[in-house]
Structure 1
């Protein structure tokens, strides 16, 4: 009975479970039958983006424009190819950058690559700071430790019909505030209190594709609380040009940099070296010049390059100046002949719209000379180069409109005493043109890869610059790349003098060294022995020396001649003549004092430069760049005799009150006050330069190498005795000297209480000299001098005590 009951219960449970299961299965089946099938996503087609009304520009990439959207069609073959992305300003608001930024200014240059990752196209920045041969194991480590930043990630919209390229929408990229391609660096954003980019007032003007480059023009409008102009708008609008150019796959063979010859350079750290450390490699920056006929070139014949260097003149250039600008470029043709090239460089007038509707000054395929409507007085010669090899790809020389006024003023001030044609505000047009021609030549030199060579002006003996025969042939410095603008040494009565700078022998030497094709060389290293020989063959001739402006008195800006004391003495004699005649040459001609005031201010600047050339000798170290195979030391202190001579000259021509600069016919007509402060600022520049911590440390170190040199303790004692000369006699001290003497004490106090002096001797010397001065002034204040001098001495004593015992 129990068994039968148990069996019945099991049977009932099993039957019920099956029924429920069947019902669930039936419901599931019904659900499956009635549920709609999911639609397959429709893959976008090429025709969805490139339609009948689409405008397409074919070039490096195809650029498609439809309904205010820009698409790049990127060939897959271009993935991983290195391209140079150059950000420039096309049009600029007034005042941006303080006057030294202009239409055409380069803001950023970076190597970029396009890469595919999943369904994205990445735009990445590639660095050449660290490199290694990709066949070596260490290449993996270099890659791992130099991860490339991603500027932007684009969605792949679709592919073209044969799947050889992908389409990406670049509209948002070029209308957003992407810092990597922005024309407003962080410092400008801080200065102008930029808050945000306004997308409603920012847009793409155009995108044009050429065979090797793509040019994008954008308008950006930013909300800014302190814009450089139109302040009430709280707005900065800037037009930007982005140039993307594919870098040459056939790389130019680099030339190894040598600091004995002046060239701009690019550098990287090469981990491929088998030495115990990575190699720092550095290559010069230069244009790629390849001879059309290599056999004729190797025979020593002049040969035209396959691709010459061409500069286009800005259509905005005034007609009367065009020929001088063109000459400034073409003058380098003769220089390149020294390197074996004929017609290697030239200037051309920009084509008209009818001749070439696609021509643009922003197009990176064209180098240009821009004429900028700006009150800035300057000119520059920047360039764009391949960071892998140093090959210069393009450059834009910039001339600012007001720059000629600077040259006219300097011409009058520096040569007017010996040069009758400079004694006017209306400088003859041909002479103005010659000045402009030489400025352009100087900037072209930069664009060819040459930096300033301030040592070149030291190559010529001072008295040679008073010779007509010498200056007409050799100019006033050995290179156009020095800042030797005018011959201020020639004296009244000297005949047939060249007053304006020109190209010189160093320019021929440097271009030959950097540009001559060594066709037999297989790699940069194989050229070195030949390049070394060219340098060492001329190493003893100062005409071919390269020097940078730092602590070397023979490489100073604006100076000429190989003896600064002698040169500045001649310069001062001329400047005194000019100062006497300045009203006659300016206000008496114009019947106003505007030019007199401007030129007097610049005359003080010229005086300050002449003084600075002499003060550079004190604590100066000559630098003669050499390799160990050459004789002599690299660094050599200026002799004690030369430094003492410079100190005596400074006391007489800088620290003594210069009465000739205080002509009432000038001062009483240009300003109501400020004469003493202006003179003090100029004297302080020289004083602070002498009592400079780095200079004093250099003098202390120099005495270790050469115990006979001018020591810091002697220099400060001589400086004190000269500046406080009146305290040794019964003499009144005038207001200019009183100001200078107090400045001396203030500067000494700063040195004494400096927390970061590298040499304890500086503190000892300064303390000892202040104590000696305190004793000297304590006696002097009791002499029979006027009341102002007595008060002055008492004040000086109080300042010394405060310096010696602060707080």
Structure 2
């Protein structure tokens, strides 16, 4: 702040919040479809539970605007956009007090189609409503209500986001959110102005703020705490169930659009599968226990390197509507970049130095990678063409990572040393493996690696 000191800039802190001495009414655009009004109302009103616990009753209301209501003059307005799909919001606040002066929530027409597809892929295995009707109105309104509830949290000044709702349930304002609202909005006694209130809030932070309130934690800290709490292996299994019957869900016996509708959602499904694999890979080199990091590599083996059931829709494959691997392989590049990054390898090496618990180190990681992707270098194990493709993707990514990580000499050297070890094992398999195509493939890989060693030496 340049106004507090005539000679220099002063740092200050603010909490963004509304003046709740009177009810905050969200007026809804008259053009907004009436069939969705109740979902919007319930999405906003969900926060009244938190305000009641903070000692404020009837804090939020939702009303349709009328001809007498001028949108620009209202503190809170929900508009309906026929052109730009999606939900967007913004707020204005006083730069010195932090008081939120106004907010706008824009709901764009047509965005729910994409949300329904996402919901089908992520929750279709456990919610029969979306399987029976891909455009279920009940689910559609539920998704809109959840989005409104989360967006209102941001417009109330909360920095964190609500925890995800489980499939088939509406999003709830949880205990942490109630604590956050209590912290920011509980009426103060004996304060003459907003600056007195700010001093009380600072005392709360120093002496009374519960540890689990997330108001002052960064998104990275949030991600670190919650990023691996989801069971992505179960998500992949559920996604397989939906993808295997995707044509029956999309068409319901009618296939008159030459596959375009099925293509769109199928591509989204395969990319989602790839993103789940990357999330599993993020456990490696994380702060999670050694057994969880090891299990992540086992999950990659189960759902990618040696899947008992492929992520595939028979109708798409038989009718040549889409080539799955063309969509999946770019996602696998992201996967191997995650596993072979400086950040991951550095973390694994540091874990080996910890004596307080059993560590999962870089040696364990490469052993698990070889066991899954390269069949433990067992010459008697059959190698599929798809597995050879993944081995090639891994190798090319590996070489790229060495070049990118050249400035991190220690990590680049570790990757080079391990690549040299891999080269020796594949060179041996290039003469002993019973599959001719595998031997030919490994000869090419060894030549690729040997050429690289010659260049860097």
Quote the residue 1:286 is aligned against: 17
Partner residue in 1 for 2:419: 770
Structure 1 residue 669 displacement after superposition: 3.4
Matches within 5 A, 1:183-198: none
- Of structures 1 and 2, the one with the larger relative CO (CA 8 A, separation 6+) is 2
Measured in 2, the distance between the counterparts of 1:520 and 1:366 equals 27
**Structure 1: gaps (5+ residues):** 1-127, 134-138, 143-268, 271-279, 290-304, 454-480, 488-497, 621-636
Distance 1:428 1:679, change over 3 A: closer
User: For the Cα contact (< 8 Å) 2:370–2:376, is it kept in 1?
Assistant: no
> Larger deviation: 315-324 or 522-531?
522-531
Equivalent residue number for residue 397 of structure 1: 105
In 2, Cα distance between the equivalents of 1:693 and 1:732?
32
* Residue among 304, 313, 316 paired with 1:654: 304
Question: What's the TM-score once normalised by structure 1's chain length?
Answer: 0.52
1:343 partnered with 2:58: yes
- 1:693 equivalent to 2:336? Answer no
- Displacement after TM superposition at 1:548 (Å): 2.5
- Mapped pair 1:527 → 2:201: yes
Structure 2's unaligned 5+ residue stretches are none
Deviation at 1:439, TM superposition (A): 0.8
Q: Corresponding residue for 1:419?
A: 127
* 1:340–1:770 distance in 2 versus 1, CA, 3 Å: same
Q: Distance in 1 between matches of 2:84 and 2:443?
A: 48
Residue 703 of structure 1 contacts residue 709 of structure 1 at CA under 8 Å; is this kept in 2? yes
Shift of 1:791: 2.3
Q: CA deviation at 1:797?
A: 0.8
User: How many Å separate the matches in 1 of 2:58 and 2:249?
Assistant: 44
Q: Does 1:505 align with 2:167?
A: no
On the 8 A contact 1:506/1:544 being kept in 2, the answer is no
Match of 1:328 in 2: 43
Contact in 1 for aligned 2:91/2:104 (Cα 8 Å):
yes
**Distance in 2 separating the partners of 1:802 and 1:393:** 65
The residue aligned with 2:391 is 741
Q: 1:551: Cα distance to partner?
A: 8.8
Q: Decide whether aligned partners of structure 1 residues 326 and 425 sit closer, same or farther in structure 2, where only a CA change above 3 A counts.
A: same
CA distance in 1 between partners of 2:239 and 2:200 (Å): 53
How many Å apart are 1:792 and its aligned residue? 1.4
Note the alpha carbon deviations across 1:517-567, whole angstroms, 9 max, x for none.
22235352343333455433xx3x7999966246954323xx8xx4x4xx2
**Cα offset, 1:787, TM superposition:** 3.4
Does 2:242 match 1:578? yes
State the distance in 1 between where 2:140 and 2:407 align. 49
Q: When you count helix as a share of all residues, which structure comes out higher?
A: 2
Matched residue SS, 2:252:
helix
Matching of residue 313 in structure 1 with residue 313 in structure 2: no
Q: 1:388 to 1:698 in 2, by over 3 A?
A: farther
Match of 1:160 in 2: none
- TM-score normalised by L of structure 2: 0.88
Counterpart CA distance in 1 for 2:269 and 2:261 is 12
Q: Identify the residue that residue 802 of structure 1 maps to in structure 2.
A: 451
Match of 2:139 in 1: 431
Label 1:655 to 1:732 Cα distance change in 2 as closer, same or farther (>3 A).
closer
Deviations 1:303-336 (A, max 9, x none): xx2x332222123312211221122112222221
The count of corresponding residues between Structure 1 and Structure 2 is: 449
Per-residue deviation, 1:667: 2.5
Q: How does 1:167-178 map to 2 (within 5 A)?
A: none
Secondary structure in 2 matching 1:805: helix
- The structural deviation recorded for 1:596 is 2.2
Is the 2:79–2:106 contact (alpha carbons within 8 Å) kept by the matching residues of 1? yes
Between the aligned partners of 1:794 and 1:393, the Cα distance in structure 2 is 68
Residues 1:618 and 2:284 are matched in the alignment: yes
Tell me the SS of whatever aligns to 2:157: coil
Which of 433, 443, 446 is the aligned partner of 2:151?
443
When residues 282 and 739 of structure 1 are mapped into structure 2, their CA distance, relative to the original with a 3 A threshold, is farther
**What is the DSSP-based 3-state SS (H/G/I as helix, E as strand, rest coil) of the residue aligned with 2:190?**
coil
Contact 1:408 1:432 in 2 (8 A): yes
Select which of 204, 216, 226 maps to 1:555: 226
C-alpha displacement of 1:341: 0.8
Q: Equivalents in 2 of 1:550, 1:322: separation in Å?
A: 36
Shift of 1:508: 1.1
8 A contact 2:285–2:345 mirrored in 1: yes
Contact 2:290 2:360 in 1 (8 A): yes
Of 379, 387, 398, 2:87 maps to 379
Partner of 2:272: 606
CA 1:754–1:585 in 2, change beyond 3 Å: closer, same or farther?
A: closer
Query: Given the superposition, is the C-alpha separation of residues 527 and 659 from structure 1 closer, same or farther in structure 2, using an over 3 Å criterion?
Result: closer
Q: Distance in 2 between matches of 1:311 and 1:406?
A: 26
3-state SS in 2 of match to 1:806: helix
Q: Give me the whole-angstrom Cα distance separating, in 2, the residues matched to 1:393 and 1:544.
A: 20
The match for 2:188 among 518, 521, 524 is: 518
Secondary structure of the residue aligned to 1:284 is: coil
CA 545–610 in structure 1, closer or farther in 2 if over 3 Å, else same: farther
Distance 1:506 1:657 in 2: 39
Over the aligned positions, Cα root-mean-square deviation in angstroms equals: 2.9
In the alignment, is residue 712 of structure 1 matched against residue 366 of structure 2? no
2:76 alignment partner in structure 1: 367
